[in-house]
Amino acid sequence: MYVAVKGGERAIDNAHAWLAEERRGDTDIAELSLAQIREQLALAVNRVMAEGSLYDPDLAALAIKQARGDLIEAVFLIRAYRTTLPRFGASTPVDTGAMDCDRRISATFKDLPGGQILGPTFDYTHRLLDFALAAEGNTPESAPQAEADPKPKPHVTEFLAREDLIQPELPKAAAPVDLTEGRFVLPEMERRHQAGLFREETPRDLTREPLDLPSDRSLKLQALTRGDEGFVLSMAYSTQRGYGRNHPFVGELRVGRVPVEVDIPELGFAIEVGEVQLTECETVNQFLGSKSEPPQFTRGYGLVFGHSERKAISMALVDRAMRWEELGEDDTGAPAQDTEFVLYHCDNVQATGFLEHIKLPHYVDFQSELELIRRIRAEALAGKAAPQPEAAE
């Protein structure tokens, strides 16, 4: 006699207990502390903060520990926590031009005001396994130190902007406006204004509003900065290989800390509430002009929490690829140019959820398919057995 399978509840409880045991691993090995993860797996922590959209290295370390090192799972834990937090304000825009740079390089100018700072990078390491690391207890010698460089490090693109060689990124307020008419003086500016490219309102919050298409650039950049690093990387790579090619130079890549300030209405001025580490990339892209735009360089922009160079550069390339419409370029049908495609598929928490949900029971829909296929198949086979008259001829 068949008895329907019961016991889902006990199975779940037991599975969770087993999972906890597996997470801990061999108890003869010392347990990882959050501080160890935060300090020694900092780039994993950075990725979880960036894609989790929450700047908190300790929480990110906890998520990584709980997720057994599965970074997408850790991002998910952070997102699910973040969404329960109240929103009590917005910071004033951070000034990345005034960043305390740990690293600042330009691939377009050999020397520039503020200088190049190589910083802590894998770039010129030889990828040889360092077996000395396997023996624990070796503290590396401290790196040579110099006095902090007080020179300001203006954005590289500002130099090009002075010669009008790069497309300006003007907020609405900074654009030349004829106030009597409330219209832009330059027809070109007016066209962009009409096209919604100059919106200077508070940027919309992707985590508090449904994604709405067509979306403005700030929303696209929000989606990219929290998008999956692998996805954004592959999209960027595809543009380099010719799918929506846009000739990027890394005008500048900088990594460092910036203060975060919040306007306090009761005080009437902004106060610093902390600082965050950011990676910023501005690409300079060749642009020979289009029907609507003169030849000049254009930009792609990437800004990511933590030290995440690969992500920031990828973001800048994809941002630039998605700007084809605004710049009057051709739509070559490349995946990276398809804003809807990129925005709807870059989020790894959404993607992994939907992908993995096919593990859930689908008995009912499968059963209905089974009956359909059996019926259509029987009819098709019956049709073959008795050939149509014209087939016999």
Partner 1 sequence: MPETSETAYNFAYLDEQTKRMIRRAILKGVAVPGYQVPFASREMPMPYGWGTGGVQVSAACLTPEDTFKVIDQGADDTTNAVSIRKFFQKVAEVAVTEHTNEATVIQTRHRIPETPLTEDQILVYQVPIPEPLRFLEPSEVETRRMHALEDYGLMHVKLYEDIARHGEIATAYAYPVTVEDRYVMDPSPIPKFDNPKLESAALQLFGAGREQRIYAVPPYTKVVSLDFDDYPFDPSKAPHPCALCGAEHTYLDEVIVDDAGGRMFVCSDTDYCASRQAEQAA
Which residues are near partner 1 by CB under 8 A? Answer: 2, 4-9, 11-12, 76, 79-80, 82-84, 86, 207-214, 340, 344, 349-350, 352-358, 360-365, 367-372, 375-376, 379
Nearest-approach distance from CB 85 to partner 1, in angstroms:
9
347 to each of 51, 311, 392, how far by Cα in Å?
A: 8, 14, 56
The answer to whether 342 and 335 have CB atoms below 8 angstroms apart is yes
Nearest-approach distance from CB 360 to partner 1, in angstroms:
6
Which residue lies nearer to partner 1 by CB, 8 or 176? 8
Which residue lies nearer to partner 1 by CB, 24 or 377? 377
Which residue lies nearer to partner 1 by CB, 143 or 382? 382
The 3-state DSSP class for residue 166 equals strand
Which residue lies nearer to partner 1 by CB, 165 or 372? 372
Nearest-approach distance from CB 94 to partner 1, in angstroms:
25
Which residue lies nearer to partner 1 by CB, 58 or 212? 212
Nearest-approach distance from CB 90 to partner 1, in angstroms:
16
| Distance from C-alpha of 187 to C-alpha of 184, rounded to nearest angstrom | 7
User: At how many degrees (to 10) do helices 71-82 and 42-52 cross?
Assistant: 50
The 3-state DSSP class for residue 50 equals helix
| Distance from C-alpha of 126 to C-alpha of 322, rounded to nearest angstrom | 35
**Residue found by looking up tokens 């045991």 in the block:** 21
Which residue lies nearer to partner 1 by CB, 1 or 143? 1
How many Å is the Cα radius of gyration of the chain? 27
Nearest-approach distance from CB 342 to partner 1, in angstroms:
13
The alpha helices in the chain, defined as continuous H runs, are: 8-24, 34-40, 42-52, 57-66, 71-82, 131-134, 156-162, 187-194, 217-225, 229-240, 309-322, 339-345, 348-356, 363-385, 389-392
Closest CA to 325 of 302, 295, 349, 292: 292
Nearest-approach distance from CB 153 to partner 1, in angstroms:
37
Which residue lies nearer to partner 1 by CB, 267 or 381? 381
Nearest-approach distance from CB 124 to partner 1, in angstroms:
39
